[in-house]
Chain A
Amino acid sequence: MRILKIAFLNLFFYPFFIIFTLTAILNLGSLVILLALFLPKRKVYRFLRQAIRWYGAVVIRILPFPLIRIVNKNYLANDPPGPYLFVCNHRAASDPFLMAVFPYEAVQVVNIWPFRLPALGIVAKIAGYLSVREMPYAEFAEKTAKLIAQGVSIVTFPEGTRSRNKCVGQFHSAIFRTALQTHATIVPVCITGNEFVPPVGSAFLQPTTIRIHRLAALTWEEYKNFNAFKLKNYCRDIIAKEVSIMDKLK
């Protein structure tokens, strides 16, 4: 039965994913070009990032439904003012799509390979996504600070690569150095169930429930006395603790 479900999920998902992606890029791309003729650059960027969020929401919530479900929990009753630095654990290539659950204008920090994806890589570049390994830290810090000053949240996966087991890997410190410089609010995000969407080394999606828990924000007042090393490990410990609890949920 499970094999049938996997076959059905993949036979249905991938063709619709390709068709929807091309349609979305064509239509939303045309709209962005049209808007760019009349609106200021900042507003066009805001629309483009919003459009990416709509696209991501369809890809993660509609196309694989009901075999892949998303459970999104926000543990923060009263959000401190944004923008935020979302710090997430990373298990699957689908993680960047899952960020569509957050209702904010955001830019993602990516590794080299997402920029090389056909079509999607070009859109990510145009939207100002940051390929952290292709620029020196000073440039990354400058670009990130500029985005935060514009009110744009930053999404990062500080492990830098997908974990191949259920452990949260060591964190890179770049985004935490930026946090210390910009005083931005850090929001730890825990994702589980995504390790099947798809598993590392496979392209086949598997039926699962993906849980996304957005934990209490860490404000500048709370971390201002930390150095970057302590801050990254502090965030990693918070995420690892929650992830180990989430992994036990059915």
Chain B
Amino acid sequence: MTEQEVIKLTNEVFIDSFEIEKSKLVPEANIFIDLGLDSLDVVDLVVALQKKFAVTIRDDERVRTIRTLGDLQQFILTIKKEIGK
């Protein structure tokens, strides 16, 4: 999976599950401050991402360090690469 595909699919999750405008989905957008998710919304986000990318990220400690959409996209990319090895 390429970086562009990960970005496209991640953005789809935010648009479909949270109805966030596409224009707000920039890599530097803070998931909590700019996109307005809280800790409970993040649980929904993780579930939606797991379904979209067929990965398990719920118990991954690295999730806690994610702050921006760019961080999240890079994290998904890393996970997909790890699975592909």
Contact = CB atoms under 8 A, between A and B. Distances in A.
A170 B32 contact: yes
A230 B16 CA distance: 11
A170 B38 contact: yes
Nearest to A177: B40
Contact of B19 (A170, A171, A177, A229): A229
Per DSSP, chain A at the interface is helix
A229 B32 contact: no
A157 to B, nearest CB: 14
Contacts, number: 32
B19 A230 contact: yes
B15 to A, nearest CB: 12
Interface residues of A, number: 13
B36 interface: yes
B40 A228 contact: yes
A233 interface: yes
Given A173-B40, A174-B40, A229 B33 contact: no
B79 interface: no
Contacts of A227: 17-18, 44
Nearest to A137: B40
B39 to A, nearest CB: 8
A172 interface: yes
A171 B36 contact: yes
Interface string B16-40: 0111000000000000110011101
B49 to A, nearest CB: 15
Interface in A198-250: 227-230, 232-233
Contact of A228 (B32, B33, B41): B41
Interface in B1-23: 17-19
Given A170-B33, A174-B40, A228-B40, 11 more contacts: A137-B40, A170-B36, A171-B36, A172-B38, A172-B40, A173-B40, A174-B38, A177-B40, A229-B17, A229-B19, A229-B36
26 contacts: A137-B40, A170-B32, A170-B33, A171-B36, A171-B38, A172-B38, A172-B40, A173-B40, A173-B41, A174-B38, A227-B17, A227-B18, A227-B44, A228-B40, A228-B41, A228-B44, A229-B17, A229-B18, A229-B19, A229-B36, A229-B37, A229-B41, A229-B44, A230-B18, A230-B19, A232-B36
